[in-house]
Structure 1
Amino acid sequence: MRNTFAPMEGITIYCYRNTHHKYFGEGLDYYYTPFLSVYKHHSIKKRDMREILPENNADNGLRIIPQIMANDSDEIIWALNYLHERGYDEINLNMGCPVGTVVSKNKGSGMLSDPDRLYEIFSRVFEDKITNEIKFTAKTRLGLTDPHEFENILPVLNKFPFAAVIIHPRVRTQMYKGTPDMEMFKWAYDNSTNPVGYNGNIFVPQDYDNIINNYPDLYEIMMGRGLVANPALAREIIGGKEMSLDELKGFMTDLEKNFKIEIPADESIMHKMKEIWFYVGNLLVTKDGAESEPLIHKIRTAKNIAEYRNAVRNVYRECAMKGHDNKTS
C-alpha cells in the first residue's frame, strides 16, 4: 500500500510540492498534480503545463502523478499519450471534483450523473493501446446527491481494468462537509474488481490507522486537507517526529520564496500564504496555552504586506506547537 498527497486546486502547485517534499516528504510515495484541464482541440491549459514540466519537478526523489480533467474519450486518450510521451507512466482521471463550474460541464463529479455515458467513454479509452502501456487510475466520489448512486457506478468501473479506483466516500453535494459514508465505502471495497484506494478525513495518525485496520488490502491512501493542515502528518504516520516550530517557520518561509517563482506579485503571494495559514494555524497555541486563533486571524485579515509580515512575526514570537510543551524544536 502506498501513501499519496491528494491534489488540491490552487494549493498543491509545484512550488508547494517541492517545498513540502524538502521538509516533510518522508512517508509519502507520490504527489498528485492539481487537475490538468484538457481541451477538445487536444491541448492542456497553458497555466496547467507548469505542473508537469521536468524543471518544476526536479526535487530529488519527488515523484508525481498527473491528474487530468476530461469527460470525452478522445480527450482522455490524447492526454494519456501526451503525458506518457513526456515520461509519465501513471495518470489519474478526476471524477470527483465537486465545484459547480466543473460539474456544470459534466466534468469531475459531474461525470457520475450518467453511468451509461461512463461506459461509452471507458469502452473507447480501454480499446486504445495506451492503457496497456501506463497505469490509468480514477478518483471518484460516490455520486452527486445519494451515496447509493455508486451501486450503479461501480459495476461500470468493474468492467474495465483500472490500475486503481480511489474513492472519496462523499457525494458531490456534501462538498467536504459531513462524514464520509464508510458503509458504502465498505460495499465498494468488497465489490470492486479493481484495486481500491481511500481518500477523505485523515487528519491524525489514528484516522489513518483506523482505515488500514478496517481495510487491510487497500492499494493506496490519499491524504489532502489533513496534510495541508499538518504538513508532517505522513512522517508522523510512519512513526516520525511531530513538527517543530522551527520546521514550520522554515517551511513557510521557503514556501513564500518558492511561490515567488510562479507568482511575481507580493500581494498575490500574500493571499496564497493566508490560505495556507488558514490550515496550519490549527497546529499552534500561545506560549501560555491559549488558542492561537486571534493571532492567526490577524494574518488572515492583513490588508497589505507590511501588516501580514508583522502578524507572522507575532505568531512566531508568541506561539508554540500544540503538545510540544511550548518548545520550538
Structure 2
Amino acid sequence: MEGITIYCYRNAHHSLFGEGIDVYYTPFLSIYKQHSIKKRDMREILPEHNSDRGIRIIPQIMANEADEIIWALNDLHLRGYDEINLNMGCPVGTVVSKHKGSGMLEVPDRLYELFSRVFDDKITSEVKFSVKTRLGLNDPHEFEQILPVLNKFPFSEVIIHPRVRTQMYKGVPDMELFEWAYENSTNPVGYNGNIFKPEDFNRITEKFPNLYEVMIGRGLVANPALAREISAGDGITLEELKGFIEKLESSYKEEIHADESIMHKMKEIWFYVGGLLVKDDGSDAESYIHKIRTSKNISEYRNAVRSVYKNCRIKEQ
C-alpha cells in the first residue's frame, strides 16, 4: 500500500509478526521512460532494507511500455531479484489517466502487443514475471476479453483482485467472475481482496484449493497479526500492538526525519488498527481513535495514544 507499507513498515512488521508471511511485495516502483526508477522508490529495493534483514521481497513495478518493463526486469534481476510483478490493478485516477495500473485494461489488444514484445526478450526466461490485475475498468465481464490475452503468455502468476476500477475498494468482490478466471486461466492464479479475518482466508482457500497464493493488503494493516492467526496462531494483544506502534515510529525515523511527518503517517496506521479496539467496558472505542486522528501536534497525539492504552482493550474475536 503506497505511502504506508514502505520498507520501514515491512521491517517492523517482519520483526514482530512475520509468522505466516511467505513474501512481501513492495509498493509499486514507478519506471520512467528514460529507464530509471523514481529516486524515492529506490529505498524499497536496497539490500540493506530487505535481504540483509532476511525478508523475501518481490518488487512491483508500474509501467505501460514494453521497453520500460524489459529494462526494469533486467535492472531488478541484476540487483538480485528473481521475480518481478507488474501492477495492472491500481485504481487511482492519476495513475489510470496515464493508462497505467488498471488503466492498462482498457484495450486488451494493446496488452497482447505489449506482452508479445516483453516475452520475446530473453530476460523473461531468467526471471519470473507476474501480473496483478483487476477484472476491468467498468464491468467485470471485461475480464472475459482480458484473460484470453493473459493466457497466451507464460506468466509465473496472475493475481486477481475481483473488482473493477470504478469500485475502487468498495462493494463486493465478484466471486463468480473470479471463479471463471480460476477455472480458465492457463497460468497459476492468486487471489487478492477483502481478507480481513482467518475465516475470509479459509473460505477462499477451501473454495479454490489450487490457488498459487493469497495476497493480503488492507487486512494485514488493520490487523498486523492476521497472518499469524491464519496460521492458527494467537490473536494480537494490546501489549503487542503497543510494541508494534512504538517500533513502527522508530522505523519510520530511518526515512522520515520530521516528527510531525511521522505523526501524520501514524495517524494513517491508527485509522486501520483502531478497529481492533474497544473500550474497557466493551463499547465502541471510536471516540479515542478520533482524538488520535484529529491531533494537531505531537503533544496532543502522544496524549491521545496514551489514553487509548489506558482505557481500551483488544476486542474479543
TMscore range, shorter length: over 0.9
* Equivalent of 1:112 in 86, 105, 110: 105
Offset from partner CA, 1:252-277 (integer Å, 9 cap, x none): 00100110110111111000000000
Residue identity in the other structure for 2:82: D
**Superposition TM-score, scaled by structure 2 size:** 0.99
Offset from partner CA, 1:164-188 (integer Å, 9 cap, x none): 0000000000000000000000000
> Residue 134 of structure 2 aligns with which residue?
141
| Distance of 1:194 and 1:67 partners within structure 2 | 18
> Residue 293 of structure 2 aligns with which residue?
300
| Distance of 1:145 and 1:297 partners within structure 2 | 34
> Residue 267 of structure 1 aligns with which residue?
260
Correspondence 1:123 to 2:116: yes
Offset from partner CA, 1:134-165 (integer Å, 9 cap, x none): 11000000000000000000000000000000
* Equivalent of 1:205 in 188, 195, 198: 198
Displacement of 1:61 in angstroms is: 2.8
Correspondence 1:194 to 2:187: yes
Residue identity in the other structure for 1:138: V
User: For 1:127-276, what aligned pairs fall within 5 Å after superposition?
Assistant: 127-276=120-269
Q: CA RMSD in A?
A: 0.8
| Distance of 2:91 and 2:202 partners within structure 1 | 27
Displacement of 1:17 in angstroms is: 0.2
> Residue 25 of structure 1 aligns with which residue?
18
| Distance of 1:154 and 1:84 partners within structure 2 | 27
Offset from partner CA, 1:54-104 (integer Å, 9 cap, x none): 111146431110000000000000000000000000000000000000000
**Superposition TM-score, scaled by structure 1 size:** 0.95
Secondary structure, in 3 states, of the residue corresponding to 1:262? coil
Correspondence 1:44 to 2:34: no
| Distance of 2:167 and 2:260 partners within structure 1 | 32
| Distance of 2:122 and 2:237 partners within structure 1 | 49
> Residue 12 of structure 1 aligns with which residue?
5
> Residue 66 of structure 1 aligns with which residue?
59
Does the CA contact (< 8 Å) of 1:112 and 1:144 recur in 2? yes
Displacement of 1:47 in angstroms is: 0.2
> Residue 93 of structure 1 aligns with which residue?
86
Does the CA contact (< 8 Å) of 1:197 and 1:218 recur in 2? yes
| Distance of 2:231 and 2:13 partners within structure 1 | 17
| Distance of 1:146 and 1:90 partners within structure 2 | 30
Displacement of 1:24 in angstroms is: 0.4
> Residue 5 of structure 1 aligns with which residue?
none
**Where do 5+ consecutive residues of structure 1 fail to align?**
1-7, 325-329
| Distance of 1:171 and 1:287 partners within structure 2 | 40
Aligned length: 317
Runs of 4+ in 1 over 4 A off after TM superposition: none
**Where do 5+ consecutive residues of structure 2 fail to align?**
none
| Distance of 1:82 and 1:305 partners within structure 2 | 41
1:35 and 1:241, CA in 2 relative to 1: closer, same or farther beyond 3 A?
same
| Distance of 1:35 and 1:221 partners within structure 2 | 18
Displacement of 1:28 in angstroms is: 0.5
Does the CA contact (< 8 Å) of 1:18 and 1:59 recur in 2? no
Displacement of 1:50 in angstroms is: 0.3
